[in-house]
Amino acid sequence: MSQSFDIRELNERIEKHSAFVTNLVTGMNQVIVGQKHLVESLVIGLLSDGHILLEGVPGLAKTLAIKTLSQLVDAKFNRIQFTPDLLPADVTGTLIYSQKDEKFSVEQGPIFANFVLADEINRAPAKVQSALLEGMQERQVTIGKQTFKLPTPFLVLATQNPIEQEGTYPLPEAQVDRFMLKVIIDYPSIEEETKIIHDHITGGYQQVRPVLTTKDIEDARAVVRMVYIDEKIEKYIADIVFATRYPERYGLSELKDYIEFGGSPRASINLALAARTYAFIKHRGYVIPEDVRSVAHDVLRHRIGLSYEAEANNLTADEIITQIINKIEVP
């Protein structure tokens, strides 16, 4: 009885504290036509303190979306265009010698921002990718002998083009795993595209104003951590991730030859975090199985290694995740 009362009280509290999500999404929709899933994913990453890898062909509003989000949050935004000639110092910063003062001073790089757009991350060599990923993981950057904390909140959105592979440096699996979500951006519907054309011709895009401060984000993250996850839901999450490693234990023997490696414990942690944040943005104080299912593809698709047999059969990670979700018993 007391637990149901606590949940009800928590629910009311979450509903009250999550009201700003509506303003955030409304602001995004003023600029971004369609792409509901992209907008939701950005909010999940922001409130879960997790980085996002966006994959889609050029021109699908990936840059515009992150720029709009940074404008709505009253935060600093930097864009880094990754190219093969980029150096680590171009991302993190470097030491500059002053002849006048006869000493070195630190020039901080574009990574020192609340929102960092790493455009076409797979175009830069491994050294540059590593410099960015170190900052993502450690939330700090070392320049010379000095270590600098990165600002809070700190969100990296990296994009990669799935079509062009010539002259690219694909991210190794261990580095891709650092991203909380990998979001696939698809083409808009014909109605949405018609509206995009109309808005461009008439100049109908609206300028958005900040609706949140960085402190509001920190406060919201503290409330997100209060969202209740039942033990049955935790077991459900563990079952889904374990099924990516040992599909035969869950009656999915046909998938065994298609999976080279499954999700790590980081996959389980991120699946729980994303499900909890998804419940929060739906103004709910507790996680239900549908929340887990809604974020499972984005959390797991880059954490499953496909074998040659899977590629030969044109089987994608998304199709494997769908089969697993359909098979695992829902609590």
Does 186 lie in the same domain as 74?
yes
Instruction: Write down the pLDDT at residue 167.
Output: 60
- Average pLDDT, integer, range 142-146: 82
Per-residue CA distances from 27 to 24, 39, 187, 206, 233 (Å): 5, 10, 21, 9, 32
95 lies in which domain range? 22-218
Q: In the predicted model, is pLDDT for residue 1 greater than 50?
A: no
Residue 2 lies in a domain: no
- The CATH code of the domain that includes 53 is 3.40.50.300
When divided into structural domains, the chain yields a total of 2
Does 209 lie in the same domain as 311?
no
**Residue among 63, 77, 70, 76 nearest 121 (CA):** 63
Task: Please report the DSSP string for 1-14 in residue order.
Answer: -HHHHHHHHHHHHH
Cβ-count burial of 95 within 10 angstroms (0-12 exposed, 13-18 middle, 19+ buried)?
A: middle
Q: Which of the four pLDDT bands, split at 50, 70 and 90, describes residue 165? A: low
Does 185 lie in the same domain as 123?
yes
Token match 């098979």: residue? 327
Does 202 lie in the same domain as 125?
yes
Token match 């374990």: residue? 242
Q: Which of the four pLDDT bands, split at 50, 70 and 90, describes residue 270? A: very high
- Average pLDDT, integer, range 264-286: 92
Cβ contacts of 325 within 8 Å, gap of 6 or more: 240, 293, 296
Instruction: Write down the pLDDT at residue 5.
Output: 44
Facing residues of 306 across strands? 259
Q: CA-CA distance, 303 to 301, in Å (whole number)?
A: 6
The two structure tokens encoding residue 221? 């993250």
Residue 16 lies in a domain: no
Does 254 lie in the same domain as 208?
no
Q: Decide: helix, strand or coil at residue 143.
A: strand
- Average pLDDT, integer, range 219-226: 88
Q: Which of the four pLDDT bands, split at 50, 70 and 90, describes residue 40? A: confident
- Average pLDDT, integer, range 239-267: 91
pTM for this model (two decimals): 0.86
Instruction: Write down the pLDDT at residue 36.
Output: 79
Domain-ending residue, one of 161, 189, 218? 218
- Average pLDDT, integer, range 137-152: 87
Instruction: Write the single-letter amino acid at 37.
Output: H
Q: In the predicted model, is pLDDT for residue 164 greater than 70?
A: no
Q: CA-CA distance, 251 to 253, in Å (whole number)?
A: 6
Residue 6 lies in a domain: no
Does 206 lie in the same domain as 239?
no
Does 194 lie in the same domain as 235?
no
Q: CA-CA distance, 220 to 103, in Å (whole number)?
A: 43
Domain-ending residue, one of 157, 192, 218? 218
How do beta strands 140-143 and 103-108 pair?
A: unpaired
Residue 15 lies in a domain: no
Residue 268 lies in a domain: yes
Instruction: Write the single-letter amino acid at 312.
Output: A
Does 206 lie in the same domain as 300?
no
The two structure tokens encoding residue 20? 């700003």
Does 173 lie in the same domain as 303?
no
Instruction: Write the single-letter amino acid at 238.
Output: A
Instruction: Write the single-letter amino acid at 141.
Output: V
Share of the chain above pLDDT 90, in %: 27
Does 232 lie in the same domain as 193?
no
Q: In the predicted model, is pLDDT for residue 92 greater than 80?
A: yes
Q: In the predicted model, is pLDDT for residue 231 greater than 50?
A: yes
Cβ contacts of 42 within 8 Å, gap of 6 or more: 28, 52, 65, 66, 69, 157
Residue 7 lies in a domain: no
- The CATH code of the domain that includes 277 is 1.10.8.80
Does 268 lie in the same domain as 241?
yes
Residue 290 lies in a domain: yes
Q: In the predicted model, is pLDDT for residue 12 greater than 50?
A: yes
Which stretch of 46-50, 180-184, 199-203, 268-272 has the lowest confidence by average pLDDT?
199-203
Does 184 lie in the same domain as 120?
yes
Residue 10 lies in a domain: no
Domain-ending residue, one of 218, 253, 281? 218
- DSSP element (H, E) containing 146: strand 146-149
Q: CA-CA distance, 206 to 212, in Å (whole number)?
A: 18
